[in-house]
Amino acid sequence: MTDQTPISREDRVEKLKGVGSQRKRVEDARFTQGKGNYVDDIKLPGMLFGDFVRSPYAHARIKAIHTEEALKVPGVLAVLTAADLAPLGLHWMPTLAGDKQMVLADGKVLYQGQEVAFVVATDRYAAADGIEAVEVDYEELPVVVDPFKALAPDAPVLREDLEGKMTGAHGPRKHHNHIFTWEQGDKDATEAVLAGADVVAEEMVYYHRTHPCPLEPCGCVASMDKVNGKLTLYGTFQAPHAIRTVVSLISGIEEHNIRVISPDIGGGFGNKVGAYPGYVCSVVASIVTGKPVKWVEDRMDNLMTTAFARDYWMKGKIAATKEGKITGLWCHVTADHGGFDACADPTKFPAGFFNICTGSYDIPTAYLAVDGVYTNKAPGGVAYRCSFRVTEAAYFIERMIEILAIELDMDAAELRRINFIRADQFPYHSALGWEYDSGDYHTAWDKALKAVDYEGLRREQAERVEAFKRGETRKLLGIGLTHFTEIVGAGPVKNCDILGLGMFDSCEIRIHPTGSAIARLGTISQGQGHATTFAQILATEIGLPADSITVEEGDTDTAPYGLGTYGSRSTPVAGAATAMAGRKIRAKAQMIAAYLLEVHDDDLEWDVDRFVVKGAPERFKTMKEIAFASYNQAIPGLEPGLEAVSYYDPPNMTYPFGAYICVMEIDVDTGVHEIRQFYALDDCGTRINPMIIEGQVHGGLTEALAIAMGQEIAYDELGNVKTGTLMDFFVPTAWETPHYTTDHTTTPSPHHPIGAKGVGESPNVGGVPAFSNAVHDAFRAFGLRQSHMPHDHWRIWKIANGLGLHG
């Protein structure tokens, strides 16, 4: 029996700070004191600086690049062009989508801001002067920024390297600017349902091009040690191990000779998943000069050229009975991918997980087709705080539900209710191929409607319309409803990979003799609080206080191989790996405890932070005691130490969901909106840290507000980016951000080790349609059916004007 002062079970649970505890973020201490370590903080001896000459044109042939004057600029050491990279085979690089992309412009440019030459200098000022001294002779070519026009028979050939090739990475190409066609579902059956339906609502829904715009732009520092042949690459990488593999494939350097380090990252939101020309050029420049080379883009470069998000034209048809029961869904998407297909999607899903577009609804028959198209825009297509095009899918179905409600002259809340997947239908197999793990949509929906007094809001809205018609007010009331189901946790290796790398994740745990622990993971936090929450998972699993557990990420020399952090996969995949590694630790600890207590393994039971002899709770060994014993007791059949590693390949994705309601007042004369109330109910399964969940929801909703109400990457007909600075690209401040009311239900995932589903992406997925639906709902009584985001003040004013409300 252990001799120690008795402590209650409740006190032991409190001390542990495990799953469910509102533990404060341990990361914040250094950030609030200005002690963060970002890429631009890295300073190495003899470090050089690189920057790009970028194209002012969206489509042009390069006749000549003159570098002579640039090389005369004091401090400029080298100017790299495609001609310099070509002998090394580095002038093109693979994209995550199976396409290839120019590192530096090879013969022509395909979008404004494309990288043409890389200037290497002793400091940033010399690099900037060198860029100005490089002269490029361009021959302008016809520009296409409309994906529908890009598919016209007489459209210019954009990708001349693919000319004549009618098969791409994802199958047949039907036009020289066509990338792929991806289909899911039963086309014939769906068209038959549409043909025989009582009611069919049809609409074009556009989700505009936007951008993650992280606070810290992309950057890297490449340092090649020619003596030992090792390359160290620091960078803003959301998937450091994948970047290491890509760099090895491109450069030919053995992967074990490459060390990739992701230091603190100032926001990612999908923007930092892919590989950019700056990474490749920095590595080449370091190899050539023998010195470290830093590249950090500026804000305009980031907005113009790093991976965009969305830009989906979604043509929908939804069929229903006269009573509102949905019988079929048809969708065709025209996806604008820009100059290269550089989307960060799993290989088998060239349009991401868009086939979650049936949403929360029991739709028996559905068909989806997506056509990818090249245009003269920047490439990308990242999961901007969503899981692989799920935000577009959620926006599509939630708009189609609203349009069907108009067609049926039915309350949109009731239309949703009668079509929800029932709790007893889970696991639910959707018509487009997914197996939803668990859910209770009706309970969440009823809770949300009651919380906002939905019936009272509808009465107030009707009264407001009548008052408006009488001239007593100029403000309308909109009630934006959304019930979304997300798919996250990519993913099962059987159907999810990027560049052939299965999307498992990992955790390695080492318990020290004194009872502290270190956990290393293949993920990398960009503000999600991994050091806090992963320690909580481990605390619950192995019985050591979370405060005694250190979490390390982002260094490929120390962390086990993992696929990184994006698409809300950290908790569903890496969190599961953490729990499973912890259980391996606990299983060995049980054998050690049994030996120490001189009982059989089966005679012990786990109790918070210790193993207790069944029926004799006074006989126990704490995890801290077991840890010390593992290093100093010779236990027959057991190796010394207490360590474990887990590579977790999930059996299925997870399916968090939520019910969001936005109450918005709109002044028809100015287009100015005021969000009176925003209620967000999330169900993310087991809740690891409620405080961090609330912070994630607040942040995601604010990004959703930005997207729905003003954030846009807009182009003119010549391919010029019109929103390339923060003067034009809307990033909300505290002034624009409304108050959010958060709530939850809990429906654990049956296949996840701790039942967690993930929540980081949910508020963006559900928030955008809630804000947008509120705008549409405000004008529904006056005949508005559909308008395109973003709903800035000018566009809202135009809606009112088009409906004759300014008369």
pLDDT tens-place string over residues 113-130: 999 999 999 999 999 999
Residue 177 pLDDT exceeds 90 = yes
Q: For 418-425, which contacts have Cβ atoms below 8 Å and span 24 or more sequence positions?
A: 418/323, 418/324, 418/325, 419/324, 419/325, 419/326, 419/361, 419/362, 419/363, 420/360, 420/361, 420/362, 420/445, 420/483, 421/360, 421/361, 421/362, 422/362, 425/362
Q: Which of 220, 281, 386, 496 is catalytic?
A: 386
What residues form DSSP beta bridges with 101?
Answer: 93
Residue 322 pLDDT exceeds 60 = yes
Q: What is the per-residue pLDDT for 634?
A: 87
Q: Which of 101, 184, 238, 696 is catalytic?
A: 238
Q: What is the number of other CB atoms lying within 10 angstroms of the CB of residue 194?
A: 19
Q: What is the mean pLDDT of residues 746-773?
A: 97
Q: Which of 27, 625, 703, 761 is catalytic?
A: 761
Q: What is the number of other CB atoms lying within 10 angstroms of the CB of residue 277?
A: 20
Q: 704-753, pLDDT tens digit by residue?
A: 999 999 999 999 999 999 999 999 999 999 999 999 999 999 999 999 99
> In the annotation, is 389 catalytic?
no
| CA distance linking residue 580 with residue 542, whole number of Å | 11
Residue labelled with tokens 């995932």: 749
Q: What is the mean pLDDT of residues 155-184?
A: 96
Q: For 591-598, which contacts have Cβ atoms below 8 Å and span 24 or more sequence positions?
A: 591/635, 591/638, 592/621, 592/626, 592/629, 592/630, 592/633, 592/635, 592/638, 592/642, 593/621, 593/626, 595/633, 595/635, 595/636, 596/621, 596/625, 596/626, 596/629, 596/633, 597/621
Q: 408-465, pLDDT tens digit by residue?
A: 999 999 999 999 999 999 999 999 999 999 999 999 999 999 999 999 999 999 999 9
Phi-psi sector, 153: left (phi>0), alpha (psi -120 to 50), beta: alpha
Residue 3 pLDDT exceeds 60 = no
Q: What is the mean pLDDT of residues 52-77?
A: 98
Q: What is the number of other CB atoms lying within 10 angstroms of the CB of residue 2?
A: 12
| Least confident residue range of 1-10, 242-251, 467-476, 726-735 | 1-10
| CA distance linking residue 334 with residue 371, whole number of Å | 5
**For the chain, what percentages of helix, strand and coil (3-state, to nearest 5) are there?**
30, 25, 40
The tokens describing 745, both together, are: 């239900």
Q: 360-376, pLDDT tens digit by residue?
A: 999 999 999 999 999 99
Q: What is the per-residue pLDDT for 5?
A: 66
Q: 564-595, pLDDT tens digit by residue?
A: 999 889 999 999 999 999 999 999 999 999 99
| CA distance linking residue 333 with residue 44, whole number of Å | 48
Q: 602-622, pLDDT tens digit by residue?
A: 999 999 999 999 999 999 999
| CA distance linking residue 306 with residue 302, whole number of Å | 5
> In the annotation, is 528 catalytic?
no
Q: Is 31 helix (H, G, I), strand (E, B) or coil?
A: helix
> In the annotation, is 238 catalytic?
yes
Q: Kind of pairing, strands 230-235 and 219-225?
A: antiparallel
Q: 655-695, pLDDT tens digit by residue?
A: 999 999 999 999 999 999 999 999 999 999 999 999 999 99
Q: What is the mean pLDDT of residues 373-389?
A: 95
Residue 1 pLDDT exceeds 80 = no
Q: What is the per-residue pLDDT for 178?
A: 98
Percent of the chain with pLDDT over 70: 99
Q: What is the per-residue pLDDT for 2?
A: 46
Q: Which of 23, 385, 520, 586 is catalytic?
A: 385
Confidence of residue 4 (pLDDT cuts 50, 70, 90): low
Residue 491 pLDDT exceeds 90 = no
Q: What is the per-residue pLDDT for 499?
A: 83
Q: What is the per-residue pLDDT for 589?
A: 98
Q: What are the Cα distances from residue 356, in Å, to 73, 601, 615, 766?
A: 55, 46, 50, 13
| Least confident residue range of 359-368, 496-505, 780-789 | 496-505
Q: What is the per-residue pLDDT for 787?
A: 97
CA neighbor of 801 nearest in space, from 769, 786, 781, 779: 779
Question: Rounded to 5 degrees, what are φ and ψ at 181?
Answer: -125, 125
Q: What is the per-residue pLDDT for 241?
A: 96
> In the annotation, is 9 catalytic?
no
| CA distance linking residue 270 with residue 346, whole number of Å | 14
Residue 6 pLDDT exceeds 90 = no
Q: What is the mean pLDDT of the chain?
A: 96
